[in-house]
Structure formats: structure tokens, C-alpha cells
Amino acid sequence: MILFADLLVFLGIVFLGLGLKPAVQICQKTHEIGWQILLTLIIAFMIGYSLFLFYLLSIRTITFVELGMSAILFGGSLFVALVVNYSLKSIGKIDDIAQLERYNAMHDSLTQLPNRHYCMQQLDKRIERRTPFSVLLFDVNNFKYVNDAMGHQFGDMLLRQISQRLSMILPKQAFFSRIGGDEFVVILRTGGRRPIEELYTVITEELSHPFNLGEYSIIASISTGVSIYPEYSTEKDQILKQADVAMYEAKNSGCGLYFYSSDLADKAKEQLDISSQLTSALHNQEFELHYQPIVNTRYNSLYGYEALIRWPQANGTFISPEVFIPIAEQSHIIRDITDWVVNQVILDMQLFHESGIDASIHLNLSAKDLNSRALFNNLEQLVKSDQLNANRLVLEVTESNMLKDLKNTKQVLQALREIGFKISLDDFGTGYSSLTLLRELPIDQIKIDKSFVSGMHRSEADHAIVKSSISLAHGLNCTVIAEGVEETELMVLLDTANCDYVQGFINGRAQTLEDIIFWTKQHQLKSAI
């Protein structure tokens, strides 16, 4: 019986020892006073158990009290060992869950790249080091078209594949993150332009290889803006904003890569000033419509005019629509401007009619006009109330605006066409999907871009493109307008190619309503409709 008691106490010491290591690990993980006290007690218990075992070994006989004490000590040590080891496993699982939550909080769920929050933390750390670094912010060109035309699942596939490819080719010291949508950020440990340009070349080369998205195969391209610390700012939000401004400049200019500069800052300020003035300009009736004639030269007849908005300034100059329209398109005011243009065109059409001129008026639509039912509802109401003859208004839409939401654009254009409006595809040939648009969308007319027309008498390629475009359009029952006609030789070539109408400086620049009426009467042009 004494040997049994000795064994129980000895095993109790062993179990306490088995609980000692996990107790130490728990103390290291939690640093809580409760576990530190328990660790101290375990050590004290081991000493106490050892003294009791020494006592048992020193006596020849034991009582039931001493045997019971040995059993209690054994049970207590077993309990401590089980509790401590189970607690360690539970804490480990909690740590794993917490670590996973921390990872998810700092990483993008789609690509597994660091997210915006993680990116901002990295910017903080880099700024604290006070050493130069660069921020490259890029987005995927025409990504919305991929989502709209193919489906969001294919858009997600493209983002994942881009992330995987670039993760493999970027320098190891580079920080690569997805900050939202199709926008990515790369932070480099360099403030030099040449390494950035070289890396951009590597990235674009990698993206030039087709991406296989199920049944589709596409080539991706990016627009990249660069901000360099501490060249223009030492604040993370400002650095990221500068890269964003540079990225949009890269996208608008088509150059692909753009470095932020003080000139760009001045331009951004100018755009902000213009943006703040647009509302008051609209309210104060500062805009004007000028009209450029569209002529059928074969019959010396007037087909119509293109209504072009102008913004005159107090000093006699004009803010170009190429400047203020893109700014207006970034806000909802573009819809108000379109409404103003429509209403002004209606008033001017009445004056044209009173002057004996009945011609079609071409009006340009923005991407936001196409993405809203407001324009359709407004035009439909004007037609139903007999304030507007739909047959006299041609709605011009550029290819780039159509591609921003192809599915919705098709629905809106079809609805407009059903109530009598004609649709003209502007800047035909400048994009990558002109033929697709002719097939998919309800188009009545194409306007061949002046970049092809103006050089067709000097370039066989341009000449062939223009002739083929005219033939293709006629085959699809579309009429054709050639833009940018400035020379008589071009008129002859276009007439030979059976082009329906021409527009350009050879027939006059855009003029005010009074001037264009005078010009039309002076040239004795009869309406073709």
C-alpha cells in the first residue's frame, strides 16, 4: 500500500511537470497576472509534492489518511495538467481565429493582396523612415466594359489573374496592394524616375500576354499615376491623391504613365475652379450654342447642323468644351447641361423654321446621359407634348461613351429610336470596337473621325479605311458624315466614295445662331429634308 501511495504522489509530480511547460507558454502569450500566479502555484505544488513523497519514503507504514492524501494530490495534479493543456489549445485556437481576422482585415478577399487599410499603414511606416519612396497607382483600362459585356465573374477572374501575374514580376521589396475596384497600388523603395519607367515597361509587357477568362481571351492595359515622396508632399493622403490625379492624366492623355508635378497640381486647381463655376454658369445662362453646317455637296444642299456648346468669358475668350465637359461629366451637372442644350435647341429650331430653314440638328450625349433614364423621360415628354419633332434631332454618341455601359446604352438608344430619334456614332474608327457597336447597337449613321478623313488624300491607308467605312455603313443602311473636311480635294474624293455628307471648315466653322442663319442664306443652301 505504501508503494501505491508513493506511485500516486510521483505521478502527481509528473503531471504537474506536464502542466508546467504549457503554463509557461500561456504566460508568454497572455502576460496576464492570473496565469503567472497559477505558474507560481504549480512550481510550489511540485515542491510540496516532492516533500510529501520524501516523507512517504521515510516511513515504513502509512495510514488511510496518508493514502487518501496521496490520491487527492494525484487527482489535483491530473486536473491541473488537463486544464492547463486544454487552456493552451483553446488559446491557440483563439489566436488562430484572431490572426485570421487580422489577415482578413488587412487583405483583399478577392485577390488576397493587402487592402487599402494595410496600404495606408505601409505609407505611415515609410514616411516615418524619412527615406524617398514612390507610389504607383494604376487601374485597368475599360474594366467596366469587361464587367458589363462579359459579367462580373469574368471581371473578378481578370483582377485575380492580374494580381497573380504582377505579384510574380514585381521586386521583392515592393509593396503591392489592391485598394478597391480595379485600382492597385505599388510602393517602391526608390524616388528615381528611371527605375519606375523600367518597371512600368515590364508590367505592360506582362499584361500584353492574353488573359484566359473561360471562353474569352483578352489583353489588359493599365493607366498609371506616380507620386514621389517627399518631392511634393509628406502626408499619406495627399501622396495617394497626387498619384490618383496623375493616373487620370495618364488615362486622359493616353500615355499610360504619368508623374505628378506642380504643373499637374495647377491643372487640377484649374479644373476645381471650373467645376465650382459650372453651376453658376448654367444658372446665369452663360453658355451659348454655336452651329456648324453639315452639307450634301453633291446636291449643294443643307443636311443639318451640329449644335456645339460654348462658354464665353468676360475677357472675350472661351473655355473650350474639351476642358469643361469632361469636368462636368465627373458630376451630375452634365445632365443639367444636356437639358439646357436640348431646350435651347428647341428654341433655335423654331427660329431656323421662321427663317425658312428646316434642317436636322445634331446633339452630343455624354456617358451619364446614356446611363440615366432622365434624358429619355425628358425627350419623350417633349415629343408627346409636340414641343419637339424627333425626326429633326440626331443624337450623337461617341464609341468610348457607349462602351462605359454597353448593355444599358443599348436599351436607352433603342428606346430613343422607337420614339423617332436617329442615332449617330461619332468618332467612328477611333476605338477598338467600332464594328461590334455597329452590329450590336441601333445605329442610323456614322461620323468618320477627322483623323482618317483629313489625311486620306495623302495616305492610301486612310483613303482605304474611309472608303471601306462608307461601304460598310451603307451595307448596314447607315448614312455617313465625314468630319474634318478642309480641302476641295477631300470633297472630290469623298464624293467619289459616295459619302453622304461632309462637315468641316471648308463649309464654315461653328457660328452663333444669327451668323449661321446669315451664312446659310448667303450660300443659298436649300434644306435636304
Main-chain dihedrals φ then ψ at residue 175, nearest 5 degrees: -100, 125
* CA-based nearest residue to 182, from 251, 88, 134, 100: 251
Give me the catalytic one of 108, 139, 148, 182: 182
Tell me phi and psi for residue 229, to 5 degrees.
-90, 140
Alpha helices in 172-216 (DSSP H): 193-207
Q: Vertex 411, ends 408 and 417: CA angle to 5°?
A: 140
CA torsion through residues 312, 317, 318, 324, sign: negative
Work out the end-to-end distance of the chain between its first and last CA atoms, rounded to an integer number of angstroms: 122
Q: What is the DSSP letter of 505?
A: G
Nearest to 484 by CA among 511, 515, 460, 457: 457
Amino acid symbol at 121: Q
Q: List 304's β-bridge partners, or say none.
A: 294, 360
Q: 366 by DSSP, 3-state: which?
A: coil
Given the C-alpha cell 459616295, which residue does it identify? 498
**Nearest CA among 445, 368, 372 for reference residue 404:** 368
Q: How far apart (Å, rounded) are the C-alpha atoms in residues 267 and 130?
A: 28
528's enclosing H/E stretch is none
- Ranges assigned E (strand) in 64-104: none
Catalytic site residue 108? Answer: no
| Catalytic positions, written as ranges | 182
